Each structure stands twice: as structure tokens, then as C-alpha cells.
Amino acid sequence: NAGVTQTPKFQVLKTGQSMTLQCAQDMNHEYMSWYRQDPGMGLRLIHYSVGAGITDQGEVPNGYNVSRSTTEDFPLRLLSAAPSQTSVYFCASRRTASSYNSPLHFGNGTRLTVT
Amino acid sequence: TQLLEQSPQFLSIQEGENLTVYCNSSSVFSSLQWYRQEPGEGPVLLVTVVTGGEVKKLKRLTFQFGDARKDSSLHITAAQPGDTGLYLCAGSALKTSYDKVIFGPGTSLSVIP
């Protein structure tokens, strides 16, 4: 079982460059989300989606775009990378739109460095 | 704004010792989850608690949800090196909505052989 697959695992960007972080899940989960993890700050929600064609902002959405054209895929786009976006990014999915008693399944992360 | 606090932030203990980590909030949660994260990997669910006062056991790990559903604890008995990792608590606010799961900052546990 693949679960949640993220690519790439590592990425280095220069300030101003753009890129897309890929996320795919094979569990037919309704909900998908992107978090960033920074030391001492835990996981912060960037964007989330409750189904194909539906996305919404989380706590820290600025500088990021998402789309959900299929149930399986939820790419995260950095439009113009900044050093403040250096972080580890996690994609997570869950079976239902409601979080009640529906745990998140995480990918293994993408470590992004912006110089 | 709902916040989850965890304590301690760092914990280094000898193999065989017992420990407790805490997760606290001023907000009420409908359910609370504990995850463990190992270096280079994503968090993995350990347990979900949903009822105030609930106690769940997973081998040497005991999880408790506070009566008021504002806090939780994780107790590990006879810690082993394999318990090393980052322990995260996460709260869900509402039972039916597109609610966003809120994560605490984590407790980094190191168990020394």
C-alpha cells in the first residue's frame, strides 16, 4: 500500500524561483491538506481540500497555491520562493471531510531550502 | 484562536525509566489524537481519544483524555530506545464540519540505551 506519496524528497531553490510539490494518495480519501513543519512551531496548515474542485486556506496560505482536479492528487505551488519558505512540507489525507475520529495519514515530507 | 501546548519540549531519559508528556489547551476538543514522528518521516497515528476521562492503552503507552476534554497525557512505562521520536498531540474542535486539526509543537523524546 503506497498511502500518501510526496515528491521530491529534497529541493533547493533560489529566491524568486517557482516550483510544485507533488502529493498523491491511493486511499480514495476525501480530505487532503498541506502542512509545513518548523522547529518549535509544530505543524501549521497551509491549504486543504474537502474534495475534487474544492480548496480553502489554512493558517499560513500566503505565497502558496493549490488545486484539486482529481481525488488522488493535491499539488502545492510556490509562486516565488522566499527564504521564509524554507521548511519541511507534509501532505496529509483523511477519509472524511470531518476530522472527528478520522485520523490524518501523512507522506514522508519534502525538505525545501530557499537560498 | 485555539492553541495546544505540550510539555516538556525535550526529554532525555535512560532505558527502563517511566515518563509522562502533557498536552494542554484552554479550548474544548471533540477528539484528540497522538502521533509519533521519526526523523525523515511523517507523523504516524498512535491513538485517538474522544470521550472525557477516556483511558486507552497501547502496549507500554497509556493515553488519557481529560474529563473536560481540554487536556491529555501520554505515559510510557519502561521506555525503550525504539520509543525515541517526536510526540505530537492534535485536537479536532467540532464534530461535524470541515474543521482544521490543530497540532501542538511536540515533545522530543530521546531514550538512551
pLDDT of A112:
97
Q: How many CB pairs under 8 A join A and B?
A: 70
Query: Which H or E element spans position B23?
Result: strand B19-24
pLDDT band at residue B85 using 50, 70 and 90 as cut-offs: very high
Over residues A49-89, the pLDDT tens digits come to 999 999 999 889 999 999 999 999 999 999 999 999 999 99
A104–B contact, CB cutoff 8 A = yes
Q: Which of A103, A107, A108 sits opposite B33 (nearest CB)?
A: A103
pLDDT band at residue A40 using 50, 70 and 90 as cut-offs: confident
Q: Within its chain, how far is the Cα of A101 from the centroid?
A: 21
Q: Is the pLDDT of residue B95 over 60?
A: no
Query: Which H or E element spans position B46?
Result: strand B44-49
Mean pLDDT estimate for chain B: 91
pLDDT of B27:
86
Poorest-confidence range of A95-109, B66-80, B89-103? Answer: B89-103
pLDDT of B63:
97
The more confidently predicted of residues B45 and A42 is B45
The C-alpha cell of A45 is what? 496548515
pLDDT band at residue B1 using 50, 70 and 90 as cut-offs: low
Average pLDDT over residues A41-48: 91
Alpha-carbon dihedral sign for residues A39, A79, A66, A9 = negative
pLDDT band at residue A1 using 50, 70 and 90 as cut-offs: low
- Beta-carbon contacts of residue B21 (< 8 Å; ≥ 6 apart): B6, B7, B8, B11, B73, B74, B87, B107, B109
Q: Is the pLDDT of residue B2 over 70?
A: no
User: What percent of chain A has a predicted confidence (pLDDT) above 70?
Assistant: 99
State whether B42 and A106 contact (CB < 8 Å): yes
Over residues B22-77, the pLDDT tens digits come to 999 988 888 899 999 999 999 999 999 989 999 999 999 999 999 999 999 999 99
A107–B contact, CB cutoff 8 A = yes
B-facing residues of A in 18-37 (CB < 8 A) are 31, 35
Å between B95 CA and nearest CA of chain A = 5
SS (H, E, C) chain A: CCCEEEECCEEEECCCCCEEEEEEECCCCCEEEEEEEECCCEEEEEEEEEECCEEEECCCCCCEEECCCCCCECCEEECCCCHHHCEEEEEEEECCCCCCCCCCEECCCEEEEEC
Q: Minimal Cα distance from A9: which residue of B?
A: B40
